[in-house]
Amino acid sequence: MLNKKLITPSDVFSYMGRIDFSEKERPLFIYAGSMVSARFTGTSVGMMIQPMLIYPVTWIGAVVDGIQYKFDLNKSDVPVYIPIADNLPEGEHTITIFKRTAGSHHYFRFCGLMVDENAEVMANEHKYDMKLEIYGDSVSAGEVVEAVYYDGHCDPSHNSCYDNSWFSYSLSLARKLNAEIHCNAQGGISMVDGAGYFNPDSYIGMETVYKQMSYVPEMGITEWDFSRYTPDYVIIALGQNDAHPAPQRIYEKDYREYWKTTYKNMVNSLIEKYGDKTRFILITTVLMHEATWDDALDEIADELDNKNVVRYRFLRNAAATPGHPRITEQEEMAGELAAFIRNWK
């Protein structure tokens, strides 16, 4: 790394997502789609990160001048250098480093950018039009999205190599609306504790996770400070995993009321935290699932009886694919949601 210099985390970088800044010189990235961006000069750029792996194989993403890169991560107790791009043309460039996968795969600490010795690193100075927040599962996190030859089909065998939050409807929607986004999504998660697929030792649901910054038990639990971010729109995309491990429970009156009450409590808690200007959109996705979950969401929206809480059903809601939505199907959802938000008067 001759003729290179390290620019450590500072005010010059722009961050997005629920990121832990308790160690300012190496902020901790947790949620899918969390990112750090900057402008820089020079002809090369790399990143210094400390991977904190949970899965034995995982990846990190970067975008330089609009070109996306993917890098393997290996467990390390110290920061490692990952070169991203060389032989860039002279002049100014942009870079974004982002988490491709959710927290259950890995965390990482961002320790800085490595640039040419005579290069400058500057704030990106991008102005956004709004703020979004997503609470969702694997679809919202972009899992298996890059299995592009499996549109409308079940997932191929994979080891998370097809996961990429950048192509989720969540981040695509943010780009379409020129919005900041906090994508609080975790594969397998349910709304209620005791259901779903996330953390099978105890099945933790979003009713617990939505309040947390670090939420994977083996990585330590920390609370999120809601005063750090107030969104204009909150999208809640949950319910598809709640059928596991007992799919018939939703047809039992008492359990259905319990599930709906848990959902409504989370919405009301967020309304209390954010105020009466934040708008809420309750959805499931185009991934095939039983219609009763959508019926329950209709009931929840009616029972909340709040003009700032609405239901949205995609044109191919619950009917497009038995596998995770691919890039085209995620774009379909993002386009519909973008139009819906633009037309919300």
Is residue 1 classed as helix, strand or coil in its secondary structure?
coil
Distance CA 112, CA 25 (A): 8
40: left (phi over 0), alpha (psi -120 to 50) or beta: beta
Which residues touch 209 (CB under 8 Å, ≥6 apart)? Answer: 184, 186, 189, 215
The partner residues of 69 in beta bridges, in order of sequence, read 62
Distance of CA 38 to the CA centre of its chain: 20
Q: Would you kindly state where each structural domain of the chain is located, as residue ranges?
A: 4-122, 130-342
Which residues touch 153 (CB under 8 Å, ≥6 apart)? Answer: 321, 322, 323
The partner residues of 53 in beta bridges, in order of sequence, read 106
Question: Is pLDDT above 80 for 2?
Answer: no
Distance CA 240, CA 238 (A): 6
- pLDDT tens digits along 272-313: 999 999 999 999 999 999 999 999 999 999 999 999 999 999
Is residue 295 classed as helix, strand or coil in its secondary structure?
helix
What average pLDDT does this structure show over 28-44? 98
Provide the pLDDT confidence category of residue 75 given band limits of 50, 70 and 90. confident
pTM metric for this prediction: 0.97
Distances (CA, A) of 33 to 140, 246, 308, 333: 10, 31, 26, 17
Fold exhibited by the domain 130-342: Rossmann fold (3.40.50)
Question: Is pLDDT above 90 for 224?
Answer: yes
Do strands 279-283 and 233-237 pair parallel, antiparallel, or not at all (unpaired)? parallel
CATH 2.60.120.260 fits 4-122, yes or no: yes
**Residue given tokens 């679809």 in the structure block:** 139
Helix residue ranges, H only, the chain:
138-141, 169-177, 206-209, 253-274, 292-304, 327-342
Question: Is pLDDT above 70 for 1?
Answer: no
**Residue given tokens 């996705």 in the structure block:** 285
